Amino acid sequence: MGNKKHNVRESALEILEAVEKNQAYSNLLLNHVIERNHITGPDIGLLTEITYGTLQRKFTLDYYLQPFINNKIEKWVQILLRLSLYQMVYLDKIPDRAIIYEAVEIAKKRGHRGISGMVNGVLRAVQRNGVPSLSEIKDPIERIAIETSHPEWMVRRWSEQFGIEKTKEMCEENLNAPIQTARVNTTVTTREEVIDKLEKEGFEIMPSPITPEGIRSLKGNLAHSKAFSEGLITVQDESSMLVANAMNIKNDQFILDCCAAPGGKTTHIAEKLNGTGKVIALDLHQHKIKLIDDNAKRLGLNNVETEVLDSRKVTEHFQKNSFDRVLVDAPCSGLGVLRKKPDIKYSKSLEDITSLQSIQQAILQQAAQLVKPGGLLIYSTCTVDKIENEGTVNQFLLTSTEFEAYPLQLPEAITPFVEENKVQIFPQDFGGDGFFIACFKKGNVKQIDIIQ
């Protein structure tokens, strides 16, 4: 085995160990390790596959390993066994003997002869006997949880909220790698021109069937394209693109984006203003504000202003009734993006959801005061949880009598999923992130017509 391949498995072990011990973000760690360990070419793909695949299927792999491990083992050894078994079960181009050889070599280097012998014994026993059948798990909730590697409380909660079949579909979809999508900067080009340019660069592109400014990359990383560096596109999920579409933006409007970093929706709003009006983007942290500024600069957008500010204090800094549109893309449990950030499903708890709801209410109550009469307040999250989403907006309407539910206006492909003023998008609906969007109007609808 070459050193480079050996390095890939060690790097995967390093990332997975850090995620397990420190609850580090796998996507950030992956990029850091790729750079630091000088991993290049196809090895980047292999490292990504092993790291995400092992993380995505942690509970399933532990279930498969359980009959073959008799004694308590160190955490790094357990992770090494998981990532080796992941390759044996789910990857068909790597021979078992190569996987076992490399696992044993890493065990020798990290541990001692006893550990390497145990790793060798466990993996060879799995090779001989095969993994246990999941059909032996009788309880349907527990079976979905193990089969798709989601916490049991999460599967039970979703089943109660959406039904077991929908939950199973969502959990299975969460195991699939997402298709990369991007938004075309329509202030400087068209979707057709961008597709043509990207295809000449060697990308395989199709127009999004969901949003008019979206594209899907079937081959190639769009973040490395000339179109990206020239400010013609922004890498963004199709579900996320729907938020600016839902805001019914007109030229010359004054818009507030309360929780804006890294700026995907802010810049989308700015693009929809067509070089007119202004969008003010807020975030708690200076380093995240820089991300928004960098994005706006790359896209050539001059109608974006940024400020470091806690959105729970917006009424101390802005005049009441001063914005045409206010977006609260609220801090949420993030259960709609488990395909891209699988570490979230192991770190979130029921208590997290409850505490987030109170923060969301506080931001909504403050932000609502800044909306002009006749203006719109948009609430969005990248999560799938009925109590967190619908509970929050129902509570908002109960306590904010000057607002009323306002019909969501979204691209035609989304209308089957819309229920009056809100939409819950599931990952399996069209392959985008799980997302929730709700729209409210301030003032008397009969007297103020905002759709002109």
| Catalytic positions, written as ranges | 382
Residue 332, marked binder:
no
263 annotated ligand binder: yes
**Strands 403-405, 371-381: pairing kind:** unpaired
For residues 269 and 428, what is the distance between their CA atoms, to the nearest angstrom?
26
Q: Which residues of 131-159 are buried (b: 16+ CB within 10 A; e: fewer)?
A: beeeeebeeebebbbbbbbbbeebbbbbb
User: Would you say 264 is a known binding-site residue?
Assistant: yes
Q: Is 368 annotated as a binding residue?
A: no
Residue 52's beta-bridge partner residues? Answer: none
Determine the distance from the C-alpha atom of residue 251 to the mean position of all C-alpha atoms in its chain, rounded to a whole number. Answer: 30
Q: Is 259 annotated as a binding residue?
A: yes
State yes or no: 329 annotated in a binding site. Answer: yes
The answer to whether 81 and 103 are in contact (CB under 8 A) is yes
283 is in an annotated binding site: yes
Q: How far is CA 165 from CA 49, 156, 158, 160, 387, in A?
A: 28, 12, 10, 11, 19
- Say whether 310 counts as a known binding-site residue: yes
Q: Is 265 annotated as a binding residue?
A: yes
Query: Any known ligand binding at 261?
Result: yes
Between the alpha carbon of residue 95 and those of residues 103, 353, 452, the distances in Å are: 13, 43, 64
Residues belonging to the binding site are 259-265, 283, 310, 329
Residues belonging to the binding site for S-adenosyl-L-methionine are 259-265, 283, 310, 329
